Chain A
Amino acid sequence: MDNRIEKRIELKAPVSRVWRALTDYREFGEWFCVKLEGPFVPGQVSRGQVTHPSCEHVKWEAVVQKMEPERLFSFTWHPAAIDPKIDYSKETPTLVEFRLEKTASGTLLVVTESGFDKIPSERCLDAFRRNEGGWAAQMKNIENYVTQKP
């Protein structure tokens, strides 16, 4: 099972612009929908409040790992930590990495999130419950997935 997520997106904006949108805490907050308390500093905890309409009760917390200008920004956090009744802090966090590459038309942004092998099975169960409708169709997908990946 591939236990990481990778997203690639072409942005029609210079690398310097994308870098600012990722690492300036106010700009990051604009598109990520989170109100952060202060700037990102490698090795330090970043805290804030989620501003997304459906998740306004959710606190945002991450530990900034690397900031290599216009190249790499990374942090660790607890993905989909949206249930206020759960203490996620004892669980192993995942690592999120934003990599930037200059292209002819702007910037290629590659986002990876890894470390899902340490995610407790309860988190999987929550997701499973939230998405019961697609169950039958998903069954087929899983079957295809595991048979194609011997």
Chain B
Amino acid sequence: MSRRSRSRAAARLRAHAPVFAALGDDTRLALVAKLADGRPRSISQLTAGSRLTRQAITKHLRVLESVGMVRCSRTGRESRFEFNPQPIEGMKQYLDLVSEQWDQALSRLKSFVEGSKL
């Protein structure tokens, strides 16, 4: 990915609502998992095998679209949705950062209570 398109993705991410909240729902998580192979799908394809209605699925897709996690393109009357990994990526790196800080703190705690020098 080029620096330019990466910064465009960053700008889009900045403008959108929290990504975590968008993924805090089983249906949306399942939709992202389905689309993660990179293949664009129509709403009918995404509704197949689900107990939810086409309208409900569409609503969830729009939430994912609003945080930049999926992209929508139109061919004639049909909308097709495609996975966009950038927002997830930023979120994962945030968690990695916090996680790494815990690793460091806990390793200092271990030295501290086990009596060796910090």
Interface residues of A (CB under 8 A from B): 1, 3, 5, 7, 9, 11-13, 17-18, 21-22, 27, 30-33, 79-80, 109, 111, 113, 116-132, 134-135, 138-139, 141-143, 145-147, 149-150
Contacts and interface: CB of A to CB of B under 8 A. Distances in A.
Contact of B1 (A22, A117, A135): A135
Interface residues of B, number: 49
B18 to A, nearest CB: 5
A119 to B, nearest CB: 6
B67 A7 contact: no
Contacts of B118: 30-31
B21 A117 contact: yes
B108 interface: yes
A43 B94 CA distance: 28
Interface of B: 1, 6, 10, 13-14, 16-21, 23-24, 29-30, 32-34, 36-37, 67, 85, 87-99, 101-103, 105-106, 108-115, 118
A124 B92 CA distance: 8
Contacts of B87: 121, 124
Give chain A's interface secondary structure class. helix
Given A129-B10, A146-B32, A149-B29, A124 B94 contact: yes
Given A119-B18, A125-B14, A149-B29, A139 B103 contact: no
Contacts, number: 148
B109 A130 contact: no
Give chain B's interface secondary structure class. helix
A5 B94 CA distance: 11
B17 to A, nearest CB: 7
Most buried by B among A120, A128, A130, A143: A128
A121 B67 CA distance: 9
Given A21-B112, A129-B10, 19 more contacts: A5-B95, A9-B110, A17-B113, A32-B109, A109-B106, A113-B98, A119-B94, A121-B14, A121-B18, A121-B67, A124-B19, A125-B14, A126-B94, A127-B97, A134-B93, A135-B6, A146-B88, A147-B37, A149-B29
A16 to B, nearest CB: 10
A32 B67 contact: no
Contacts of A124: 13, 19, 87, 90-91, 93-94
A72 to B, nearest CB: 16
Given A111-B102, A117-B21, A147-B36, A32 B97 contact: no
